[in-house]
Structure 1
Amino acid sequence: MNNFILKFKGIDFKSISEGFADAPKHPTAIFAVIGLLILAFIVLKLRKVKLTTSIMTQIGVALALGTVLKMVKFYQLPNGGSATLGSMVPILIIALFYGPEIGMLTGLLFGIIDFILAPYIMHPVQVLFDYPLAFTALGVAGYFKDKKKPYMLLGIILAIFSRFLFHFISGIVFYGSYAAPGQSAAAYSFLYNLSYIGPEGILCIIVLAILPVKQIYKVMNKPSMSN
């Protein structure tokens, strides 16, 4: 017991408490830690992924289709973000086909591709939240794999909201200076990100409500198709 006490005698608990008190003054550092923890969680999840040739092919097709749809824009906002022709649909379909892990992997790859093709950089942490993490979040839909259509649609809504949440946080921390006088950073970020994710999200929900996802999965995974 005495040895245990001696080990802690040299620790300056006052400095530690002051450090925690000053933490809110450095939101970038806080969100950097949060982002890295989320990324570590994703990496641990992806270690469970077992990829077959068929799955890799379907992921490749989804990424290619998503990239093409991403290029078809209804409108582009000045500080990044655009409403596209349902570019999230292929990623969400893969998540609904194979579950959250493969859905997250596909979203992560899509986020990297989107950053390469149309980078908008203000800070490394902003890049982390707006690209890899935001699109990886679409894999949340995979938790509703094999569910009935209404629950699948609920999963899609939660996945799109999860993506929105990462953009929303990024907007508060890094884009708050663009807010109008008297407007809070949170209000600005909410309205800005909703203005493009909202319409595109609704389009994706409508498309996936119409598409026979389970039937497409069965067709894509017939022995003749897999070979």
Structure 2
Amino acid sequence: MKVRLYTELAMAVALAIVLDIISKTLPIPRMLHGGSISLHMLPIFIVALRHGWKGGCLAGVMYGVVNFMMAPHIIHPIQVPLDYPIAFGLVGFAGWGPLKMGAEGRGAVLSARIRLVAGVMVGNGLRFLAHFSSGVIFWGQNAPPGQPVWLYSLIYNASYMVPETIITILFLQFLLSRSLLSRTMERGNS
């Protein structure tokens, strides 16, 4: 069973990288120091919703390491883990407890659609906090003169994370409505 799980995690990370590469070929605005609107977190969310927070966090950390190796933005040694494995690993909390798909049998009262939206918001919300913290601590020198560092980090990170969260939710809802995601979730929980 573990071999199957680890294979799925590796495939999700590979698909996330492919989605990230594809997004870089599209005419989508990119932030100067990293960050863009993309569906690259979609496979990580699916893993988290299928296998819970542990599988999701592991897939997120793996993606963060590979993402760093492909396109590093380094300003300080401590910033690297905060912006890469920690930030992307936190996405895995989309599959925490009652948010995990298939939780109905364990007394969960949330519908699949609500769990999906809540999971993506929790996962990307935690990721946002990691990037926001990194922005305040390490990237503050990029703030325009007179602008508080926290406001600069908030605007910078929200400008791509909010649209990415909305697009990810819409895409996952589409997959769920087509029963593609629900069948995948059922198989992951069996």
TM surpasses 0.5: yes
Match of 2:18 in 1: 68
Partners of 1:79 and 1:155 in 2: CA distance: 27
Query: Any idea what the Cα deviations from partners look like across 1:60-114, whole Å, max 9, x if unmatched?
Result: 2111110011111322211222222x00010000000000111100000000000
Partners of 1:159 and 1:77 in 2: CA distance: 21
Match of 2:125 in 1: 161
Partners of 1:56 and 1:221 in 2: CA distance: 15
Partners of 2:11 and 2:48 in 1: CA distance: 14
Greater than 6 Å deviation, 4+ residue runs: none
1:140 to 68, 93, 96: 93
Match of 1:44 in 2: none
Partners of 1:75 and 1:59 in 2: CA distance: 29
Aligned AA for 2:148? S
Q: Helix, strand or coil for the counterpart of 1:123?
A: coil
Q: What is the root-mean-square deviation in Å for CA atoms of aligned residues? A: 1.6
Q: Helix, strand or coil for the counterpart of 1:82?
A: coil
Larger radius of gyration: 1
TM-score by length of 1: 0.71
Equivalent residues of 2:50, 2:188 under 8 A apart: no
2:42 to 67, 89, 94: 89
Higher relative contact order (CA 8 A, sep 6+): 2
Q: How big is the shift at 1:210?
A: 1.8
Aligned positions, number:
171
TM-score by length of 2: 0.85
Q: How big is the shift at 1:220?
A: 6.3
Unaligned runs of 5+ in 2: 104-110
Partners of 2:8 and 2:182 in 1: CA distance: 15
2:66 to 113, 116, 129: 113
Unaligned runs of 5+ in 1: 1-50, 223-227
Query: Any idea what the Cα deviations from partners look like across 1:143-164, whole Å, max 9, x if unmatched?
Result: 1112422123112111111000
